[in-house]
Amino acid sequence: MQQLQAKFAGTVTILGISTDTSIPRVDRTIKERRMTWPILADGKGFEGAIPTAYHVQGTPDVFVIDSEGRIFKHLGSATEIESTIAAARIAALEVDVRLSGIQR
């Protein structure tokens, strides 16, 4: 994830959602693993508001969120993440083109 964060910095945001029930443990894990992306955690496990909002079913769970803040795709693993990010960026550009009135 650190490599993806570095590769797509400025154009894509990597966001983690923790299902841990201990905020101090989340903080410790972030420091130990040198996670440089934001991690959302409420300390309430899978029943918390954050995992519930994103329909987190297990870990790891990978989502690509579009530029409007909507879930573009829910991935079963990180193996497809680069191609999905590329597809989301293309879709965002197509929307920008349509909104600006430029015809292809």
Domains observed in the chain? 2-100 (3.40.30.10)
CB 65 within 8 A of CB 38: no
pLDDT in tens, 80-104: 888 888 888 888 777 666 666 655 4
Q: Is the dihedral of CA 43, 44, 49, 53 positive or negative?
A: positive
Distance between CA 68 and CA 92 in Å, rounded? Answer: 9
> What is the reported pLDDT for 42?
95
Whole-number pLDDT of residue 23: 95
The answer to whether 45 and 54 are in contact (CB under 8 A) is: no
Mean pLDDT of successive 10-residue stretches along the chain, which has 104 residues: 78 84 95 89 94 86 78 78 83 69 56
CA 39: distance to chain centroid?
10
* Prediction pTM value: 0.68
Are the beta carbons of 18 and 48 closer than 8 angstroms? no
Question: What does the pLDDT read at residue 96?
Answer: 62
